[in-house]
C-alpha cells in the first residue's frame, strides 16, 4: 500500500511541478495546490499505513496497537490549514496583480531594473 | 515557574500584534503603543539573556508533557542571543516606520504584521521541535507576505507573487522532509531525533534527508544556486520592511542550518560539510558579482545579503570551534548592519527620489551626518578592524586555516574586498561630487531617518570595540554547538 501511495504522491509532485513551470498564473497556483496534496499524502504514507481503528479511544480499549498513528494526522491537519491560508492569499494576490499589470503571463511580469 | 520565561519572547509580540489590530486607525496611539511594547519586550528578552548566561538553557515543556511527547521550547544562549538581536532591530524599525511609511500603509495593520513577524522569528529561534519550526516559519512568512505587498503598487504585486510562490514551494518541501525524517526515526522533537539518529543503521537515507533539509533552508537563506528569488522582491517594499526582511528572514534559514547540522546530521560530515564549503564559496562569488552588476542602490544592498550568508556557511562547513564562533559572531553582526544599511539606503532613496546611482551626486553637502553614517556602515560591513565585521570574519577564516582550506580563505578575503568596493561605489557616486543646487533639502526628514540608524550602528561599533565583553559568550555558544550531548541531555533529562 505504501508503494502505491508513494507513486501517487510522486505523480502529484510531477504534475504540480509541470504546472508550476507554465506561463499562466492560474496554472501555477493549481500546481502549488497539487504539490501540497502530494506533500500531505506523503506525511500520511510515511506514518505507516497499517490497518487500525481511527485514533479515538472507545470502549476502554487502550492498546495502542489497535489504532492508527495519530501524529501524522495532526501534522497534516496543521499543514492543510496553513497551505489553505497561503493559497487563498496567493489567489487574491494573483487577481490583484493581473488586474494592475493587465496580464497573467509570467513572461510579461518580468520587469526591468529601475522601476 | 522560571521555565515559563522561554515562551515570553513569543507571547509578548503576539499579544501586541493582536492588541494593535483593534484600533489600527488611531495612528498616534498605535505608534506610541508599538514603541512601548517593543521596548518592553526587548527588556524582557535582555533579562532572559542574562538569566540564560548565568544558569544555562531555559527549557519549557509546554502543557507539562514530558520531553519527546510535547512541544519543547529551548531558550539556550544561541537562540536567546538571536532573539535579543531581533528585538533590537525591531526597536529601530518601529522608530523608523512613522517617517518612512505613508499614512495609509501605517493604518493598514503595519504594526500588527510587524509584531507577528517578530513572533515568527523568535518562535523559529526558540523552538525545539522540527514541525513546530515549520509552523513558525509559516507564521513569519505569512506576516512577510502581508508586509511585502503593503501599499499594493504595480511592481510590488508583481514581485510578491514570485516571493510567495518560491516560499510556498520550499515550505512544501520542508513538510516532505519532515515526513521522511519521521518515517526513519519516528519522532519530530529535535533532541529526540538527534539521539535516535545515532542508532539508525542506514546512514545513507539520513544524509539524503539532511541534504533535502539543507535545500529547504538554503532557499530561505538564499544560498547559491537558490538565491535567485531574493534580490528583486527585497527592493520593492517600503525601506523599513526591506530592513526587517534583510536582517531577519535569511538569518532564520542560516540559523536552522546551523542548528540542524550541528545537532542532528553529524554522522557524515566529510560529505555534507565539503558540499557546504563549495556552496559557500559559490554563494560568496555570485553574491558579490550581483552587488557589482547594478546601479540600483537598493539592489546593491539586497545583493550584499548573499555573500554574508556565504560567510556564515563557511563557518558551518569548516565545523570546528573557532569557525562556529565566527559564524555566530558574524550572524549577530550581519543582522544589525543589514538592517542599518537598508534603513540608510531607504533614507537616501526617500531624500533623492531615485534609486539610480547615476542620478545622485554631492549628497554629503546637504546631509553630512547621513553620509558619514553610510561611510561607517560600509566599513563595518566590509570588516575593517575596529568594527564588528572584522572579528567574525577573522574567526571564520582562522577556523578555515586551521583545517587547511586555503582556497576558501582567499575567496573570502577577495569577496570582502569586492563588498567594500560595491559599498564605497555608492558612497563615492552618491555622496561625493559637486553640490547639486537644484535639490530641495529636507533636514527634518533626514533627522528622523538617521536616529534609528545611529541606534543600530551604536551596537555595531560596540560589537567591534567591546568585543572582549561579547566574545566569551560567543565562544560559550560555539563550545555548546560542538557538544550536542548537552542539548540532548538538557531536553530529554536522562
3-state percent breakdown (helix, strand, coil) of chain A, nearest 5: 65, 5, 30
Find the angle CA(A65)-CA(A68)-CA(B63) to the nearest 5 degrees.
Answer: 95
- How far is the alpha carbon of B400 from chain A, nearest alpha carbon, in Å? 37
Strand, coil or helix: what is B59? strand
| For residue B225, cis peptide bond before it (omega within 30 degrees of 0) | yes
CA neighbours within 13 Å on the CB side: how many for B254?
36
The CA distance from B396 to B313, in Å, is 10
Cβ proximity of B53 and B42 under 8 Å: no
Q: What is the pLDDT along chain B (494 residues), one digit of tens a residue?
A: 688 889 999 999 999 999 999 988 899 999 999 999 999 999 999 999 999 999 989 999 988 888 789 999 999 999 999 999 999 999 999 999 998 898 998 899 999 999 999 999 999 999 999 999 999 999 999 999 999 999 888 889 989 999 999 999 999 999 999 999 999 999 999 999 999 998 887 888 999 999 999 999 999 999 988 999 999 999 999 999 999 999 999 999 999 999 999 999 988 888 898 999 999 999 999 999 999 999 999 999 999 999 999 999 999 999 999 999 999 999 999 999 999 999 999 999 998 888 888 888 888 888 999 999 999 999 999 988 888 889 999 999 999 999 998 999 999 999 999 999 999 999 999 888 887 777 777 888 888 889 999 999 999 999 989 888 989 999 999 999 999 999 999 998 86
Query: Quick one: pLDDT at residue B494?
Result: 65
B171 interface with A at CB cutoff 8 Å: yes
The domain ranges of chain A are: 2-52+67-105
Query: Quick one: pLDDT at residue B399?
Result: 93
Q: Which of A80, A109, A112 to mutate to test the interface with B (most CBs of B within 10 A)?
A: A109
Contacts of A113 in chain B (CB under 8 A): 294-296, 299
The CA distance from B88 to B240, in Å, is 14
Tell me which CATH code domain A2-52+67-105 carries: 1.10.287.3510
- How far is the alpha carbon of B175 from chain A, nearest alpha carbon, in Å? 7
Buried b (16+ CB within 10 A) or exposed e, B462-480: ebbeebeebeebbbebbeb
- How far is the alpha carbon of B134 from chain A, nearest alpha carbon, in Å? 9
Instruction: Give residue A54's pLDDT band: very low, low, confident or very high (50, 70, 90).
Output: confident
Pairing outcome for strands B72-75 and B58-61: antiparallel
The CA distance from B349 to B123, in Å, is 33
Query: Quick one: pLDDT at residue B448?
Result: 86
Query: Quick one: pLDDT at residue A112?
Result: 62
Contact assignment for B171 to A20 by CB distance below 8 Å: no
Contact assignment for A113 to B138 by CB distance below 8 Å: no
Contact assignment for B183 to A71 by CB distance below 8 Å: no
Contact assignment for B158 to A97 by CB distance below 8 Å: yes
ipTM over 0.90: yes
B445 interface with A at CB cutoff 8 Å: no
Q: Judge if pTM exceeds 0.80.
A: yes
Contact assignment for B164 to A89 by CB distance below 8 Å: yes
A111 interface with B at CB cutoff 8 Å: yes
Nearest to A90 among B134, B164, B180 (CB): B164
Cβ proximity of B326 and B222 under 8 Å: no
Residue B229 is inside which H or E element, if any?
Answer: none
**How many CB contacts within 8 angstroms connect chain A with chain B?**
107
With a CB-CB cutoff of 8 Å, which residues 293-312 of chain B face chain A?
294-296, 299
Dihedral of CA atoms B273, B278, B279, B281 in degrees, nearest 10, equals 120
The CA distance from B60 to B58, in Å, is 7
List the one residue out of B260, B191, B55, B265 whose CA is nearest residue B493: B191
Say how far residue B131 (Cα) sits from the centre of its chain. 21
Query: Quick one: pLDDT at residue A113?
Result: 46
A24 interface with B at CB cutoff 8 Å: no
Query: Quick one: pLDDT at residue A114?
Result: 47
> Which spans in B56-189 are helix H?
77-100, 103-107, 110-126, 130-149, 154-185
Amino acid at each position: 500500500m505504501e508503494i502505491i501511495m508513494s507513486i501517487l504522491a510522486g505523480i502529484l509532485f510531477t504534475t504540480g511541478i509541470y504546472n508550476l513551470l507554465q506561463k499562466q498564473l492560474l496554472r501555477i497556483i493549481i500546481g502549488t495546490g497539487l504539490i501540497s496534496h502530494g506533500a500531505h499524502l506523503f506525511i500520511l504514507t510515511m506514518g505507516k499505513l497499517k490497518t487500525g481503528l481511527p485514533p479515538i479511544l472507545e470502549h476502554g480499549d487502550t492498546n495502542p496497537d489497535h489504532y492508527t498513528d495519530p501524529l501524522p494526522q495532526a501534522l497534516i491537519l496543521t499543514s492543510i490549514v496553513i497551505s489553505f491560508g497561503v493559497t487563498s492569499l496567493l489567489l487574491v494576490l494573483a487577481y490583484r496583480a493581473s488586474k494592475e499589470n493587465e496580464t497573467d503571463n509570467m513572461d510579461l511580469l518580468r520587469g526591468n531594473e529601475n522601476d | 515557574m522560571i521555565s515559563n520565561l522561554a515562551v515570553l519572547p513569543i507571547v509578548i509580540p503576539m499579544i501586541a500584534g493582536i492588541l494593535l489590530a483593534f484600533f489600527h486607525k488611531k495612528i498616534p496611539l498605535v505608534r506610541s503603543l508599538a514603541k512601548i511594547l517593543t521596548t518592553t519586550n526587548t527588556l524582557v528578552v535582555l533579562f532572559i539573556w542574562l538569566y540564560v548566561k548565568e544558569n544555562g538553557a531555559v527549557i519549557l515543556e509546554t502543557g507539562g508533557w514530558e520531553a519527546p511527547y510535547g512541544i519543547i521550547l529551548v531558550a539556550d544562549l544561541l537562540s536567546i542571543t538571536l532573539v535579543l538581536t531581533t528585538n533590537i532591530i525591531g526597536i529601530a524599525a518601529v522608530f523608523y516606520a512613522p517617517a518612512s511609511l505613508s499614512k495609509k500603509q501605517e493604518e493598514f495593520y503595519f504594526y500588527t504584521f510587524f509584531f507577528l513577524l517578530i513572533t515568527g522569528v523568535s518562535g523559529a529561534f526558540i523552538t525545539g521541535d522540527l514541525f513546530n519550526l515549520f509552523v513558525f516559519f509559516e507564521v513569519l512568512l505569512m506576516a512577510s507576505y502581508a508586509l511585502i505587498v503593503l501599499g499594493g503598487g504595480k511592481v510590488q504585486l508583481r514581485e510578491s507573487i514570485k516571493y510567495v510562490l518560491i516560499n510556498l514551494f520550499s515550505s512544501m518541501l520542508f513538510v516532505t522532509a519532515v515526513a521522511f525524517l519521521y518515517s526513519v526515526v519516528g519522532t519530530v522533537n529535535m533532541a529526540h531525533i538527534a539521539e535516535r539518529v545515532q542508532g539508525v543503521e542506514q546512514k545513507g537515507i539520513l544524509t539524503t534527508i539532511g541534504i533535502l533539509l539543507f535545500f529547504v533552508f538554503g532557499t530561505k537563506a538564499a544560498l547559491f544556486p537558490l538565491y535567485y528569488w531574493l534580490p528583486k522582491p527585497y527592493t520593492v517594499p517600503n525601506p523599513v520592511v526591506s530592513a526587517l526582511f534583510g536582517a531577519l528572514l535569511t538569518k532564520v534559514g542560516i540559523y536552522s542550518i546551523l542548528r540542524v547540522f550541528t545537532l542532528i546530521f553529524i554522522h557524515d560530515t566529510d560529505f555534507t560539510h565539503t558540499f557546504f564549503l563549495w556552496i559557500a564559496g559559490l554563494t560568496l562569488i555570485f553574491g558579490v558579482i550581483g552587488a557589482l552588476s547594478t546601479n540600483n542602490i537598493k539592489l546593491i544592498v539586497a545583493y550584499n545579503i548573499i555573500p554574508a550568508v556565504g560567510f556564515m556557511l563557511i563557518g558551518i562547513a569548516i565545523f570546528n570551534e573557532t569557525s562556529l564562533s565566527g559564524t555566530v559572531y558574524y550572524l549577530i553582526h550581519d543582522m544589525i548592519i543589514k538592517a542599518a544599511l537598508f534603513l540608510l539606503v531607504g533614507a537616501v532613496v526617500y531624500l533623492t527620489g531615485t534609486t539610480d546611482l547615476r542620478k545622485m551626486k554631492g549628497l554629503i553637502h546637504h546631509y553630512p551626518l547621513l553620509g558619514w553614517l553610510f561611510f561607517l556602515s560600509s566599513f563595518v560591513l566590509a570588516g575593517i578592524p575596529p568594527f564588528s565585521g572584522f572579528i567574525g570574519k577573522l574567526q571564520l577564516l582562522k577556523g578555515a586555516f586551521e583545517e587547511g582550506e586555503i582556497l576558501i580563505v582567499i575567496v573570502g578575503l577577495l569577496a570582502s574586498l569586492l563588498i567594500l568596493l560595491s559599498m564605497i561605489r555608492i558612497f563615492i557616486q552618491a555622496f561625493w561630487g559637486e553640490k547639486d543646487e537644484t535639490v530641495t533639502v529636507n533636514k527634518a526628514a533626514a533627522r528622523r531617518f538617521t536616529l534609528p540608524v545611529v541606534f543600530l550602528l551604536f551596537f555595531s561599533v560596540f560589537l567591534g570595540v567591546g568585543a572582549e565583553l561579547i566574545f566569551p559568550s560567543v565562544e560559550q555558544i560555539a563550545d555548546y554547538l560542538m557538544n550536542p550531548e548537552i542539548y540532548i541531555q538538557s531536553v530529554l533529562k536522562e
